[in-house]
Amino acid sequence: MGAERKHLTSTTGILVRGVQDLEDFEEHPDKYLVDLYADEEAGKKAWLSTGERHHFTYNDGVVTLTWEGIPLLGVPVWDDVCGIWHYLVMVVEGYLTDGRGEMSFPDSPAPIILERIHGGALFTIARTKARVEPVSFCLELLDEAERFWRWTDRQDIPVEADAAYALKEINRVRSKIPWR
């Protein structure tokens, strides 16, 4: 019996240099980002050297989301990575509670929306839209958020809302999925 196929994949990268040239950032994201999961030690070093002084709770970076090969989120959109993961979990919670979850990135009109549509769900970030299978999408997005927060916990990264709290929230939202 084989493992179930994942539909959703993610990466989380920390910006290690300022973006002055958006086109260069889009063409060469590896010059600007360190992937937290590809090299955990380099990820921790990048986080601690670029995070808000002494608190490390605000760290600009990029979260990429890909659903069945369709890029949903990624370069050139960057923000506080803890905030992005928090917003994504809250969008899932809104969807599970009301049939529509919506958040916006800080200082940006770009909405993140997950809403019920006939025969599934629609995930929207700015102008990117993808029809998703709601059970898989919600479960897998929460799994990816959990992976991020477990990384911060494993690396003993001091974050404002600690990993234990974030993981508890993810489990609380996960428990709302009636079709598990």
Per domain, the residue ranges of the chain are 8-174
Give the pairing type, strands 120-125 and 128-132: antiparallel
In this predicted structure, the answer to whether residue 180 has a pLDDT above a threshold of 60 is no
CA distance 124 to 3: 28
What average pLDDT does the structure give for the chain?
89
Residues 156-166: pLDDT tens digits? 887 766 788 99
In this predicted structure, the answer to whether residue 133 has a pLDDT above a threshold of 60 is yes
* Half-sphere exposure of residue 87: CA atoms within 13 angstroms, side-chain side: 18
Residues 12-50: pLDDT tens digits? 999 988 888 999 999 999 999 999 999 999 999 888 887
User: What is the pLDDT, as a whole number, of residue 76?
Assistant: 84
Q: Residue 6: which of 132, 95, 125 has the closest Cα? A: 132
Q: Residue 57: which of 161, 132, 155 has the closest Cα? A: 161
How many Cβ atoms are within 10 Å of 107's Cβ, its own excluded?
A: 7
Q: Residue 176: which of 136, 119, 138, 144 has the closest Cα? A: 138
CA distance 61 to 104: 16
User: What is the pLDDT, as a whole number, of residue 2?
Assistant: 46
CA distance 157 to 5: 31
- The residue-averaged pLDDT of 97-123 equals 90
- The residue-averaged pLDDT of 87-97 equals 97
Q: Residue 137: which of 153, 151, 120, 125 has the closest Cα? A: 120
CA distance 55 to 158: 7
Instruction: Pick 178 or 116 by higher pLDDT.
Output: 116
